[in-house]
Every structure is written in C-alpha cells, then in structure tokens.
Chain A
Amino acid sequence: GNSVTQMEGPVTLSEEAFLTINCTYTATGYPSLFWYVQYPGEGLQLLLKATKADDKGSNKGFEATYRKETTSFHLEKGSVQVSDSAVYFCALSGGTSYGKLTFGQGTILTVHP
C-alpha cells in the first residue's frame, strides 16, 4: 500500500535559517504529492503540490520538487520566519479518484526570533 515517511521532528530554527524537511514515499503508479501545513489551533491547509515527476510546487517561499527516481518530495525554504512555526505534513494521493490522502507523521517546526 501507499506510505509516506517524513523526517522526525521537532525541528527548531532561528529566524532566517534555511529549512529542509525530508519526505519520501512508497506508492504504485504515479501519485500526486502534497505538503499541508497546520498552524496552532487550526485545521490543515494545502501549502503546495505536484502532480507529476519533476514538477516543482511552490507557495509562500516554500518549494518542493517531485523526484520519481528517489521517490522524494522534500520541502525547502530559504529563510524561515517566526510565523512559519507550524506542523508540516507530506501526503500523497494515488489510485482511484475516490482514494484517500495518505499522510506522513508530521514535522513540528518552531522558529525562534
């Protein structure tokens, strides 16, 4: 079955530091890949996505590239802000169009001033 593995957290960074959160996946076929973000006390919201190999998703300064050869979708940001403190989830969707979204275990990011 499908599975998603994220780097373990929590991750603590100083403002303006570079961020990488690793994500690798196992899936049959050609899944779509997503990063969701959950700010404190809120639900999840889509941060970015990529639907085919070599696609790059980007939003709010975050980027991730769909790498089929390494089955990875690592999240990066060049300079984090305190407001980026949140839980980040990598996810994939594949199979039937009614299929579930399979999430990684989430990575808690805390950014200090």
Chain B
Amino acid sequence: DTAVSQTPKYLVTQMGNDKSIKCEQNLGHDTMYWYKQDSKKFLKIMFSYNNKELIINETVPNRFSPKSPDKAHLNLHINSLELGDSAVYFCASRATSGGDTGELFFGEGSRLTVL
C-alpha cells in the first residue's frame, strides 16, 4: 500500500495549458507539502497545508494554486504553463501532532515537461 501517492507520474503538455497534479496520503498525517525539484536536483518548498489550512506559501507565481479538500489530500493546479515550470513535483506528508519526529514522507514525484 503506497503511503504517499501522486498522479500522474508523467505529464507532457504545451505552453499555456492548465494542468493538475493530485496527491493522497494514507498515513493519517495532518500536514502536507509540495516541493519542486529542478534539473540540478535542487529541492524548493512551494506550499504546506496543516489540516486543510495553508501554512506555508513560498514565493511562487500565483499561476500555482494548491487545494486541500481534506487532510489526506493536497492537489496542485497550474495555470498558463511556462517552459520554466518543467520539473519534478514532490508531494510529502508529516505528522506534526502526537509526537512530531520531523520526518517527511515523500511521494514518487510527478515529472512535468512543458513544450
């Protein structure tokens, strides 16, 4: 049973399109994250939600809109895709209540290619 699952794993699309990536975790965690990994493997946090509330919103273009319908799901919608959005997007979750170890559990990533 996959703990943190993302769909789709691969996404190839044209500039200007709108696309979404979905994430679900079955670990019972209360906090979820989106990270972006560029071609040099550098990881940058984008957003974090705790119990459906946005708690971290880094400097990300407002074309990126996260949505958390419940604490087990965190989706990422991207409008008007640009070439520079090509990257691997990782979802992660963490238990911040009931004994926070600080550990993040990551999904396998969604590779977005914008042509």
Q: State the A residues within 8 Å of B (CB).
A: 32, 34, 38, 41-46, 49, 51, 87, 89, 93, 97-98, 100-103, 105-106, 108
Task: Sort chain B's interface into a size bin.
Answer: 20 to 34
A44-B90, A49-B102, A51-B102 known; A100 vs B45 contact (CB < 8 Å): yes
Give the residue name and chain of the A residue nearest to B9 (CB). Answer: A41
Q: Could you tell me the dominant secondary structure of chain A's interface residues?
A: strand
Residue pairs across A and B with CB atoms within 8 Å: the count is 56
A43-B90, A44-B90 known; A101 vs B104 contact (CB < 8 Å): yes
The segment out of B13-21, B59-67, B71-79, B105-113 that lies at the interface is: B105-113
Other than the known A34-B103, A105-B40, what 16 A-B pairs have Cβ atoms closer than 8 Å? A42-B108, A43-B106, A43-B109, A44-B43, A44-B104, A45-B106, A46-B103, A46-B104, A97-B100, A98-B48, A98-B55, A98-B56, A100-B33, A103-B43, A106-B43, A108-B41
Are B108's CB and A43's CB within 8 A? yes
Bound: A50/B33 CA distance, A: 22
Bound: A32/B43 CA distance, A: 18
Q: For residues 74 through 111 of chain B, which have their beta carbon under 8 Å from a beta carbon of chain A?
A: 90, 92, 96-97, 100-104, 106-109
Are B45's CB and A105's CB within 8 A? no
User: Does B25 count as interface, using CB distance less than 8 angstroms?
Assistant: no
